[in-house]
Structure 1
């Protein structure tokens, strides 16, 4: 971790801040703030690439206990957010853990409206039923994004997990998909819907090969962008824009996963839902239980764990 802390003073990060137009004073403030956050994360034994919204809130509360005022806390979160934008730019992380943090007396916007199983099914069918475009790139993107959306809605797979999927993780004969575990999540095998099997077979044998041919890429990753880069968050950003245009109630991908887990808890026991969600700790799953949903929506001091 020491090397990581020192890396915040690296030329690459410094160049990033310069390109963003920050003054020398602001650059120094950002570096020092991020360094303090890195030291705290080391003390908590948390890898910086694995930092979640929960961890950012814990750090904010720690800073508050140290006597930091609201304005200082806002600046602190802003500095950390800049660093994670840098890591996204360097393809080190997929999402910014500060993206949904809103310091208003240590509060965060978390007023998610969850969707029922039927509503999720409707979202998927509407997206999948789009008329094919005349452009080959648009058609390839639609086929790829249809599969990604299905894995979110039917299997509740997280963005980071989608980014890590490879072609060998798809078990077509068994009708399942393997999701590797992470520091905060357990590995699991998820059963695929019949229509997903057909679409995945077509994607692996035809669509993906065409994307590889068009882009000249050489990778085992299941999902590829049609651009020259390989940053998965670009794929998800474009998908989310399409979904928001389709349904204004959709806020982000985390909202869809929260809906999936909430619906699982209506038909499965807590341990089964925990396994399906890949939660390492049952307390993460308990936060989604029906009798906790009001608290989940109203208690803006808490975060959805392990999104």
Structure 2
């Protein structure tokens, strides 16, 4: 798709990765959103069949074309995404964020626009969802479901990393042998931001057993720097890890709905918080830039909230 992009879009995507430190995955999402938006504008302007929007070329779009974009065009685009493409509020919010970032770049960094039409673009409201996670008992049942097959030690160690460190699946896949220094783990998070977390006993013991009893016997283990290897001796992918989690969920008999690697992160953060971890410590462990993001993970059950109120000393005076 890169060859079909106008230079101004290519320049923006390069800026995202080299200057803003966005991941390649995020860059691809931005590319998709901007491409769809520009195709939509061409379709509307030329009265083209919107059903064939993916066939529209945008390679000849110039800054003069973009200068004509209005806030109303963006509203119409988001309406199209909702009504015709059935995009959720979350997806539309991402598209709005992409447009705001793109036009901010054109005006602020490139000085190509006199006005930023996306400056007043509002983000679709997203209802707060209660995070899906396992409680302590469910997590223990899940762990017990790790089958003792030829990848038992690897899978067990990965689960210990997920549940004890709240690590992201992308972070786990990118770990190298050199990421571990004694009882410290150096993690490369979003935006290539590095953080260091302590490995507790569960992590160090499980990792030692994996290295001693499994990893060294995998073909290519001496030449591949990745910490967690596939059966073929290659670095694990996010998709492969997701399949492993799904299989353990089934084998354990837990069958927790929509249990993904990210839900293990929710589980870890929730259990740590309930065990007394303070919000600032959690923020560092999870690698959140903003504490408000961490607060999503610190939800408590209604019965626990009620218990706190019932235990209020003033309640005993009645």
| Alpha-carbon offset, residue 186 of structure 1 | 4.8
Unaligned runs of 5+ in 1: 1-7, 11-30, 81-104, 133-137, 294-307
| Alpha-carbon offset, residue 75 of structure 1 | 7.7
- Please name the residue that 1:262 is paired with: 270
Tell me the distance in 2 between the aligned counterparts of 1:74 and 1:142: 41
CA spacing shift, 1:257–1:41, aligned 2, 3 Å: farther
**Preserved CA contact (<8 Å) 1:215 1:226:** no
- Report which of the two structures shows the higher radius of gyration computed on alpha carbons: 2
The higher-RCO structure (CA 8 Å, 6+ apart) is 1
**Preserved CA contact (<8 Å) 1:164 1:221:** yes
| More deviation, 198-207/250-259 | 198-207
| Alpha-carbon offset, residue 64 of structure 1 | 8.8
Tell me the distance in 2 between the aligned counterparts of 1:75 and 1:36: 23
TM-score normalised over the length of structure 2: 0.56
2:227 is the counterpart of 1:227: no
- Please name the residue that 1:18 is paired with: none
Matches within 5 A, 1:51-70: 51=26, 65-68=74-77, 69=80, 70=82
- The alignment yields a C-alpha RMSD, in angstroms, of 4.4
Paired residue secondary structure (2:228): coil
CA spacing shift, 1:259–1:168, aligned 2, 3 Å: same
Tell me the distance in 2 between the aligned counterparts of 1:42 and 1:71: 32
Select which of 153, 164, 170 maps to 1:154: 164
2:263 is the counterpart of 1:288: no
Tell me the distance in 1 between the aligned counterparts of 2:206 and 2:191: 31
Tell me the distance in 1 between the aligned counterparts of 2:203 and 2:185: 10
Tell me the distance in 2 between the aligned counterparts of 1:143 and 1:110: 34
Select which of 135, 141, 148 maps to 1:116: 135
Matches within 5 A, 1:86-235: 112-124=131-143, 126-128=144-146, 130=147, 132=148, 138-139=149-150, 141-172=151-182, 175-183=183-191, 186-193=194-201, 195-211=202-218, 214-215=219-220, 218-227=223-232, 229-235=234-240
Tell me the distance in 1 between the aligned counterparts of 2:75 and 2:11: 17
Tell me the distance in 2 between the aligned counterparts of 1:74 and 1:46: 31
Paired residue secondary structure (1:114): coil
CA spacing shift, 1:288–1:184, aligned 2, 3 Å: farther
CA spacing shift, 1:169–1:234, aligned 2, 3 Å: same
Tell me the distance in 2 between the aligned counterparts of 1:184 and 1:117: 32
Paired residue secondary structure (2:145): helix
Tell me the distance in 1 between the aligned counterparts of 2:217 and 2:23: 36
- Please name the residue that 2:63 is paired with: none
**Preserved CA contact (<8 Å) 1:143 1:207:** yes
2:2 is the counterpart of 1:9: yes
Q: Deviations over 1:181-203 (max 9, x none)?
A: 4427550222322x432332222
Tell me the distance in 2 between the aligned counterparts of 1:64 and 1:116: 46
TM-score normalised over the length of structure 1: 0.58
CA spacing shift, 1:250–1:143, aligned 2, 3 Å: farther
Unaligned runs of 5+ in 2: 38-70, 95-123, 303-318
Tell me the distance in 2 between the aligned counterparts of 1:244 and 1:63: 47
Tell me the distance in 2 between the aligned counterparts of 1:169 and 1:250: 33
CA spacing shift, 1:196–1:229, aligned 2, 3 Å: closer
**Preserved CA contact (<8 Å) 1:184 1:279:** no
CA spacing shift, 1:288–1:160, aligned 2, 3 Å: same
| Alpha-carbon offset, residue 241 of structure 1 | 2.5
The count of residues paired between Structure 1 and Structure 2 equals 225
